[in-house]
Structure 1
Amino acid sequence: MSKETIGFVGVGLMGQGMAENLLKAGFAVNVVTHRNRGPVDDLVAQGATEAKNLAELAAVSSVVHICAPGSPQVEAIVDAMMPTLQAGSVIVDCSTSDPNSTLALANKLAQAGHHMADAPLGGTPVQAQSGELSTMVGADLGVFERLKPVISAWAKTIVHIGPCAAGHKMKLLNNFLSLGYAALYSEALALSEKVGISTKEFDSVIRGSRMDCGFYQTFMGYAVEGNRESHKFTLSNALKDLRYLEAMADEVGLSNPIGNAAKNSFAMALSAGGDGPNDYIPHLVDFVAARNGVSRA
């Protein structure tokens, strides 16, 4: 059986490393530029082929990966590719998307003879580069088996969660935990400073204890060490994910008070100016501190 031909839309922080690993695994990879030509030029130099637009990319690819900011962008990308998709193509959405949107796209693609899978990512750009990401996949079993050799090129840990949209549901639950931690850490540190316990003193107690974890360490990489790029995931994306979580809870009639509290913490940060491309999750600590009259200078 011949290898799939891969299309890749969104070769940014995560996508570039993923596409590189697909090339290393021997797949033919087609890419398309958006705003930043740098990653595309780099991938072409490694053997990828550049398509002029999404329609051209769809016409020469049997499996198309999408790494986009959210569901509106994914929907627009799929709509642009639909007329020229090869028969039986698979769209793999690696974004953190709204599961309701994912199911609607899956239905639209199925009616045209294509397939949808969601494979949101766990890990960092460094892990994307090394092919050691994790992913939680939502897809019919046959589609999942077809995709396994492809996904194995860029992911070390692959979990088939269930049918289409199950991966996106699990990703939102995962992000609920991490973003909830961020909101909790930010409020705890503001209160700590307010009652006379410095951030460094706070960290000396928590680090290495049962309350320590990998996310805590990257968060405190900024709060304690001042590394502004310790966790490069924007506040705006965090708020988007918590809004999707809220919609998922609403869909099944679940009370989600802690999720809403975390969402409001991020919404406050964005309304206070944290909506830039270099405003990352650990910087939430500054916005919560400022809101409470605490100086972190």
Structure 2
Amino acid sequence: MQKIGIIGVGLMGHGIARNIVGKGWELHFLDQPGNQPTADLVKQGANPWPSATDLAANCDVLILCVTGTPQVEDVLVGNGAALAALQPGAIVVDCSTAIPSSTRALAERVREKGCEFVDAAMTRTPKEAEEGRLNLLVGGETAVIERIRPLLESFAENIFVAGGVGSGHQLKLVHNIVSLGTVTLIAEVAACAIQDGMDVDAMVDCLRKGGAGGAALERVAPYILEGNADLLRFTIQNAYKDAGYYDQMAEESGASRQVARAIHDTLGALVERGDGGAFMPEQVTLLQKTPLQKP
């Protein structure tokens, strides 16, 4: 078994770590304040490390599960300096959501070090992470991906190989602007319906049995009907970040992005108003407030 290191044992990373160590891999993790409680991981044999450099020097595969591009860059080539500590032949697996152009630039620096880079962005929720049932959107060299496929399968139900390095992050941004954008649209429509006195049970039933049915509706519906946001514990701040990444990717490629910009602007206005820490379904309530100002 390879030695596996992970940086970022948060809502998603904890589930990844728990499945890796629980299925027999030797696991090491960065001990930092942003982690979820890790006593259960230690009890199963995982080893905490005080710094990213110490961790990186003692693992064959380094998994990153941090917020986004600035954090990935900081861990590898900034304050974390993990890249400098990696041993030749090590593999970096970036499970974060990141800007593809940055991913490709970092991958080149990793290769110069004599190591390999795979982007393996995640979809689904912390619940599926704990169950070992994430979807992974993967980019990288085929041979490298196959070397770590058993590791990825320890915490993923579905693995979609999108192409070369950076393509996993491309696919994640496409997925998120569609899925989170749909959630935002449903929330806005529900807010209008509630304000206009519509029967929300009838509305949800109609949407479910028509063209609006699907995963996005099912994650928002419990909040519309019962005020329960547990099925999508993803913050507006994070959604705004991802929408911004998509906007940058589309701008760099010269693609049209008018609808995506409207989603980005709505999320940004909520963040600007101080609602960034709320979960995405809570937009149903937040969008009933005074009109949003464009950020």
Same fold (TM over 0.5): yes
What's 1:108 paired with? 109
Distance in 2 separating the partners of 1:186 and 1:22: 36
Write the distance in 2 (CA, Å) between the matches of 1:290 and 1:108.
47
* C-alpha separation in 1, matches of 2:119 and 2:243: 18
- Tell me if 1:25 matches 2:12: no
Deviation string, structure 1 residues 125-184 (Cα, Å, up to 9, x no partner): 121112111111001111111111110111111111100110000000000111111221
Alignment partners' CA distance in 1, 2:144 and 2:35: 32
Which residue of structure 2 aligns with residue 219 of structure 1? 220
Measure the CA separation in 1 of the matches of 2:222 and 2:197: 21
Aligned to 1:162: 163
Among 4, 7, 21, the alignment partner of 1:6 is 4
Match of 2:204 in 1: 203
Give secondary structure in 1 for the equivalent of 2:59: coil
Alignment partners' CA distance in 1, 2:268 and 2:35:
32
Q: Partners of 1:113 and 1:260 in 2: how far apart?
A: 39
Residue 190 of structure 1 contacts residue 289 of structure 1 at CA under 8 Å; is this kept in 2? yes
Contact 2:88 2:114 in 1 (8 A): yes
Secondary structure (helix, strand or coil) at the match of 1:239 reads helix
- Stretch of structure 1 that moved more, 82-91 or 245-254: 82-91
Distance 1:249 1:36 in 2: 31
Give the stretch that moved more between structures: 137-146 or 279-288: 279-288
* 3-state SS in 1 of match to 2:287: helix
Quote the residue 1:120 is aligned against: 121
Which stretch has the larger CA shift, 198-207 or 121-130? 198-207
Q: Where do 5+ consecutive residues of structure 2 fail to align?
A: none
Amino acid at match of 2:283: L
Aligned length: 289
Whether contact under 8 Å (1:131, 1:153) holds in the other structure is yes
Q: SS of 1:73's equivalent?
A: helix
Q: Secondary structure at the match of 1:290?
A: coil
- Choose 208-217 or 49-58, whichever is displaced more: 208-217
- For 2:288, give the aligned amino acid: A
Task: Confirm or deny: 8 A CA contact 2:8 2:35 kept in the other structure.
Answer: no
Whether contact under 8 Å (2:16, 2:155) holds in the other structure is yes
Equivalent residues of 2:188, 2:283 under 8 A apart: no
d(CA) in 1 for partners of 2:34, 2:140: 31
d(CA) in 2 for partners of 1:241 and 1:118? 16
Name the residue aligned to 2:188: 187
Aligned equivalents of 1:220, 1:81: Cα separation in 2: 42
Tell me if the contact between 2:91 and 2:115 (Cα under 8 Å) persists in the aligned partners.
Answer: yes
- Alpha-carbon separation, structure 1, partners of 2:145 and 2:194: 49
Q: Which residue of 1 aligns with 2:241?
A: 240
Aligned to 1:259: 260
Following TM superposition, by how much is the alpha carbon of 1:115 offset from its aligned partner in structure 2, in angstroms? 1.2
> Distance in 2 between the 1:220 and 1:105 partners?
40
Q: Could you tell me which residue of structure 2 aligns to residue 45 of structure 1? A: 43
Write the mapping of 1:58-69 to structure 2, written as runs, cut at 5 A: 58-69=56-67
Specify the SS of the correspondent of 1:39: coil
Which amino acid in the other structure matches residue 47 of structure 2?
T
Question: Identity across aligned pairs (percent)?
Answer: 33
Question: One-letter code of the match for 2:245?
Answer: Y
Q: Partner letter of residue 290 of structure 2? A: R
Q: How does 1:85-164 map to 2 (within 5 A)?
A: 85-164=86-165
SS where residue 157 of structure 1 aligns?
strand
CA displacement at 1:191 relative to structure 2 = 2.7
Q: For structure 1, which runs of at least 5 residues remain unmatched after alignment?
A: none
| Distance apart, 1:195 and its partner CA | 3.7
Shift of 1:38: 5.1
Q: Secondary structure at the match of 1:246?
A: helix
* Separation of aligned partners in 1, 2:169 and 2:34: 27
Which range moves more in the overlay, 239-248 or 184-193? 184-193
2:113 and 2:162 map into 1 onto residues whose CA distance is 25
1:217-267 Cα shifts (integer Å, max 9, x gaps): 111211221013231001000000000000000111111000000001101
Q: Deviations over 1:176-235 (max 9, x none)?
A: 111111221122123323443133331132233342112211112112210132310010
- The alignment partner of 1:116 has SS state of strand
* Counterparts of 1:172 and 1:36, CA distance in 2: 24
